[in-house]
Amino acid sequence: MEYVAGGSLHGYLKSHQSRRLPEEECKRIFKQVVEGIRFCHNRSITHRDIKLENLLLDDDKNMKIIDFGFSTCIPNEKRVKIFCGTPSYMAPEIVNKTEYCGPPADVWALGVLLFTMLCGCFPYRGSTDSELYGKISNAEYKIPTDIYTSLSTDAIELIATLFSINADKRPTAKEVLSHPWLIDVSLPREKKHACLQMRAHSSQPQKVQEPTLIKSDQTLVRDTSS
């Protein structure tokens, strides 16, 4: 078992007064996570619960993806109907309880992750599940004006691409890595796939303490195939 001293990405964002990261630092962290997810998808593994709490930093601030308790190892093109994940990170096809392929749902969650790191808040929020799911279904998000003016055009465009409502139009993890916002970001060769860590998931969803801006919510799983 490896000890990861840096804590979670959730905690790391909380340590910043703005609850968000500078764009250049965000690029490096995000590219490491996407590289890890690409590695999984190439082996027909879908994580299904990508979120701040499931990303750890080592002493060098390199990322470790943990908690594969809800992951599946099935052909990427196989459609399933499982209501699974953390509500704020769920893709439209999940909240609408339709059959879906796993990798595009992971890519949507990567979009939530990127937005949160750059903006310091979740893109989709609601006072009820119904309100939240409605906003997700319509990709109804808004980058705060003061942050929008400070972000690069490439960052804004990548967020919009990741939030394609039609799962078939979302980029693959491999395509995300080729996006202009990430293409020139170098990763240490020995760290390229070192961001995967296996950890058992509790059988009961756990409530995580919520900070002021970056709120966490429960992980849910429900098989809706019947």
Q: Which residues are catalytic?
A: 49
Measured between alpha carbons, how far is 140 from 165 in angstroms, rounded to an integer?
A: 10
Residue 182, classed as helix, strand or coil, is coil
Tokens linked to 62: 């390199």
Measured between alpha carbons, how far is 12 from 14 in angstroms, rounded to an integer?
A: 5
Measured between alpha carbons, how far is 107 from 48 in angstroms, rounded to an integer?
A: 10
Q: Could you tell me how far CA 44 lies from the centroid of its own chain?
A: 18
Q: Under a CB-based contact definition with an 8 Å cutoff, are residues 176 and 182 in contact? A: yes
Measured between alpha carbons, how far is 219 from 222 in angstroms, rounded to an integer?
A: 10
- Amino acid in position 175: E
Q: At what angle do helices 102-119 and 23-41 cross, to 10 degrees?
A: 170
